[in-house]
């Protein structure tokens, strides 16, 4: 199968490409514009290091807004669209221009390109940020009320996918990821920031009171769910939550990091983060039913693996 993955040099994208290539019948085209974000270019090049050694992987460095999709999509069976400017806190103010261009306009350009090609599946990576503040487990039927411009940009991408499915028959599947973590996590994400501060003997910055909870999804569980979408039928038009094995508060996670690193963590409490919900919790019943999804990695194991990766990154 010939598969195109946008955002291939990113945190989740690089893991997904590796997982897809584990099947010897797949060839993967990875596209990434390496646009300036919170992740330095050298880190994203590091994400690609194993992929570039695989003869069934082709890397294309190009901005999605300027690609000749007629040429790039020829012969492609499946598209995974992960490319986006991430992050809630940076999406306010003038920086929203970059979110609009890379999360909305780029998605529309890609969908326009896909109209002319007989794809089997178009899998759009969305986020729990589209839900906003909810109480209890969230099903895919819940209303979408994002609290940040980032969430708005990703929800707009979802709506574009639905419009092109209705009008042009593009076989869209939407996966909503909940707080993905693990090796290669972006430097602006919470666990990466926590661990890097601990390694530098600096106080750990925590927004709010630390009692906010998240449904943490380890990256290999996340990409296992995404990869399984290749092989299951009756998914077209579905929106599916991808959550993790374990839900916890920020303070719980810091306690786990103290165990892993055998240290006492000094915390610096900051003001409440703008645009972030107090709690997230995915109902993954649909993923279990349609994808046979079964997350495996608990927080202690997952954080241990992320610590190991960051020790290597910052050595």
CATH number at residue 222: 3.40.50.720
Distance CA 130, CA 84 (A): 14
Distance of CA 5 to the CA centre of its chain: 13
The answer to whether the Cα torsion of 16, 21, 26, 27 is positive or negative is positive
Structural domains in the chain (count): 1
In a domain, 136, yes or no: yes
In a domain, 19, yes or no: yes
Q: Which residues of the chain have pLDDT under 70?
A: none
In a domain, 211, yes or no: no
In a domain, 14, yes or no: yes
In a domain, 78, yes or no: yes
Task: Quick: pLDDT tens for 14-41.
Answer: 999 999 999 999 999 999 999 877 789 9
User: Tokens 């909810």 sit at which residue?
Assistant: 134
In a domain, 301, yes or no: no
- In this prediction, residue 245 carries a pLDDT of 95
CA angle 4, 309, 177 (to 5 degrees): 45
265 and 258 Cβ atoms separated by less than 8 Å: yes
Which range of residues forms the domain containing residue 227? 2-185+217-244+282-296
In a domain, 277, yes or no: no
- In this prediction, residue 37 carries a pLDDT of 77
Distance CA 172, CA 161 (A): 6
> Please, what is the angle between helix 106-114 and helix 149-168, to 10°?
10
Residues 6+ apart with CB under 8 A from 275: 88, 89, 91, 92, 147, 148, 149, 150, 151
In a domain, 162, yes or no: yes
Residue 79 phi/psi, 5-degree rounding, is: -115, 130
Task: Quick: pLDDT tens for 248-274.
Answer: 999 999 999 999 999 999 999 998 889
Active-site option among 150, 164, 181, 293:
150
Asked about 314 being catalytic, the answer comes back as no
């Amino acid at each position: 199968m010939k598969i195109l993955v946008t955002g291939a040099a990113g945190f989740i994208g690089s893991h997904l490409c590796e997982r897809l290539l584990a099947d010897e019948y797949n060839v993967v085209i990875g596209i990434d514009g390496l646009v300036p974000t919170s992740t330095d270019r050298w880190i994203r090049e590091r994400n690609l290091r194993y992929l570039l050694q695989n003869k069934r992987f082709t890397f294309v460095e190009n901005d999605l807004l300027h690609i000749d999709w007629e040429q790039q999509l020829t012969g492609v069976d499946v598209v995974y669209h992960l490319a986006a400017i991430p992050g809630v806190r940076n999406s306010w103010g003038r920086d929203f221009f970059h979110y609009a261009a890379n999360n909305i306009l780029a998605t529309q350009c890609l969908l326009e390109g896909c109209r002319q090609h007989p794809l089997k599946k178009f899998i759009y990576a969305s986020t729990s940020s589209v839900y906003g503040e909810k109480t209890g487990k969230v099903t895919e039927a819940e209303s979408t009320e994002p609290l940040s411009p980032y969430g708005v940009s990703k929800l707009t991408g979802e709506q574009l996918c639905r419009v092109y499915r209705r009008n042009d028959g593009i076989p869209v599947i939407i996966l909503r990821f909940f707080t993905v973590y693990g090796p290669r996590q972006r430097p602006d994400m919470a666990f990466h920031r926590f661990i890097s501060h601990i390694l530098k003997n600096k106080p750990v910055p925590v927004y709010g009171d630390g009692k906010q909870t998240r449904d943490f999804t380890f990256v290999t569980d996340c990409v296992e769910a995404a990869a399984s979408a290749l092989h299951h039928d009756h998914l077209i038009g579905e929106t599916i939550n991808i959550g993790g094995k374990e839900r916890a508060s920020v303070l719980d996670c810091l306690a786990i990091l103290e165990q892993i690193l055998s240290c006492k963590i000094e915390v610096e409490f900051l003001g409440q983060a703008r645009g972030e919900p107090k709690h997230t919790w995915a109902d993954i019943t649909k993923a279990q039913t349609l994808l046979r999804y079964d997350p495996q990695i608990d927080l202690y194991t997952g954080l241990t693996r992320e610590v190991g990766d960051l020790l290597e990154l910052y050595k």
